[in-house]
């Protein structure tokens, strides 16, 4: 952008007026006073201007092609500058002058994107998992207890069912370093979950729908695997890890970018959650198998879950749990040829619950 003083000829025959000229890559502006002395301005776009250098007059000349108005500036400087910005403006975007080497920038950029993706999808989750495994059981327990205590204020415990379920779990004789504490909450919800460190929470709504003891064994073994395999702790660490990574990379800048990434992250977390659920199903099933308990307990359990939420079949991709039908499917496959024996002790404990 440069400014010049010169003569403005509003039309071909009009006498020159002393005026100012602004040359920039977008427009060419002329400021002048008309015959009455009133100031005015004309803006010419780059496209409608022709420039040349009048050798005889030693003046640069710019002509507005539509109105034939002219502007003349003494010396060659204005014309040369105009040529310069014009050639720059006419170049396509990838030929434009840049501070760096385009090829190098693109290479660097792709390398960074690849490295970032690798870090985000493999390195960060791996590190988080490593960290989750070093967390002591005591810390896990504290973490779970904090959540549990926060919940306790709002929920009512069914002490009888709690006692029976704990007795049932002890009778299953599953070896573990965690002290498993089961709590039954009075709530019609058909749900149950595991907190880190060994707290299992079961809602009465789910218990009421159960008819046989293998179902309860299936539920408890499933939730137990969540605890034993540190699923909750691992999920928390993964979420923290990727959160930290995103914050480092994007800072608190641009809300839109974080929005997009949050959504992608959500889907990734769900897929991870589905894989954990499947692991809990299969590992839990293995525990039943070792004890000769009927794997149909799992099928029944899944059916109760499905019945409790009729008409809310959401696509598997956006769900935290695998699709009920596919859960039944893979348990059936695993259970092929399974020998079942009746366990009267578990049966009698379960019967107490149904009284």
Partner 1 sequence: MQDYLGVINAQSIIGANMFKDIFAGLRDLIGGRSKTYERVIEEAKEDAMRELTQKAQSLGANAVVGIDLDFETVGASGSMLMVIATGTAVRI
Are the C-beta atoms of residues 184 and 204 closer than 8 Å to each other?
Answer: yes
* CA atoms of 20 and 42, how far apart (whole Å): 11
Q: Closest distance between partner 1 and the C-beta of residue 47, in Å?
A: 17
* CA atoms of 88 and 73, how far apart (whole Å): 22
Q: Closest distance between partner 1 and the C-beta of residue 12, in Å?
A: 23
The smaller minimum CB distance to partner 1, of residues 100 and 310, is found at 100
Q: Closest distance between partner 1 and the C-beta of residue 139, in Å?
A: 30
Which pairs count as long-range contacts for 72-81, CB under 8 Å and 24+ apart, including other chains?
A: 72/6, 72/7, 72/9, 72/16, 73/4, 73/5, 73/6, 73/7, 73/21, 74/6, 77/4, 78/2, 78/4, 78/6, 78/21, 78/23, 79/51, 79/52, 79/53, 81/2, 81/23
* CA atoms of 177 and 155, how far apart (whole Å): 28
Q: Closest distance between partner 1 and the C-beta of residue 40, in Å?
A: 7
The footprint of partner 1 (CB under 8 A) covers 1, 3, 5, 20, 22, 24, 26-27, 29-33, 39-41, 43, 99-100, 112, 248-257
The smaller minimum CB distance to partner 1, of residues 2 and 345, is found at 2
The smaller minimum CB distance to partner 1, of residues 35 and 344, is found at 35
The smaller minimum CB distance to partner 1, of residues 49 and 195, is found at 49
Are the C-beta atoms of residues 220 and 169 closer than 8 Å to each other?
Answer: yes
The smaller minimum CB distance to partner 1, of residues 113 and 351, is found at 113
Q: Closest distance between partner 1 and the C-beta of residue 190, in Å?
A: 42
């Amino acid at each position: 952008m440069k400014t010049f003083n010169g003569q403005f000829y509003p039309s071909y025959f009009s006498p020159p007026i002393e005026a100012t000229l602004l040359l920039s890559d977008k427009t060419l502006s002329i400021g002048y006073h008309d015959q009455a002395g009133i100031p005015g301005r004309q803006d010419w776009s780059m496209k409608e201007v022709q420039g040349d250098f009048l050798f005889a007059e030693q003046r640069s000349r710019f002509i507005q092609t539509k109105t034939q108005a002219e502007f003349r500036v003494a010396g060659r400087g204005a014309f040369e500058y105009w040529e310069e910005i014009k050639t720059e403006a006419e170049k396509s975007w990838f030929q434009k002058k840049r501070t760096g080497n385009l090829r190098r920038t693109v290479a660097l950029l792709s390398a960074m994107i690849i490295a970032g993706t690798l870090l985000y999808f493999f390195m960060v989750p791996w590190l988080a998992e490593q960290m989750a495994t070093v967390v002591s059981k005591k810390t896990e327990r504290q973490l779970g207890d904090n959540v549990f205590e926060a919940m306790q204020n709002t929920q009512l415990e069914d002490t009888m069912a709690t006692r029976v379920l704990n007795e049932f779990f002890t009778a299953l004789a599953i070896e573990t370093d965690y002290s498993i504490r089961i709590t039954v909450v009075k709530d019609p919800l058909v749900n149950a979950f595991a907190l880190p460190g060994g707290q299992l929470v079961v809602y009465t709504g789910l218990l009421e729908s159960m008819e046989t003891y293998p179902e309860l064994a299936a539920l408890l073994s499933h939730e137990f695997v969540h605890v034993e395999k540190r699923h909750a702790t691992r999920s928390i660490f993964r979420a923290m890890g990727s959160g930290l990574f995103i914050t480092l990379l994007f800072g608190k800048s641009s809300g839109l970018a974080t929005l997009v990434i949050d959504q992608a992250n959500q889907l990734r977390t769900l897929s991870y959650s589905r894989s954990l659920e499947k692991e809990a199903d299969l590992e839990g099933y293995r525990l039943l198998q070792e004890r000769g308990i009927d794997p149909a307990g799992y099928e029944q359990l899944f059916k109760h879950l499905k019945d409790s939420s009729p008409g809310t079949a959401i696509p598997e991709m956006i769900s935290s749990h695998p699709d009920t039908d596919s859960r039944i499917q893979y348990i059936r496959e695993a259970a092929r040829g399974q020998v079942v024996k009746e366990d009267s002790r578990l049966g009698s404990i379960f019967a107490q619950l149904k009284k």
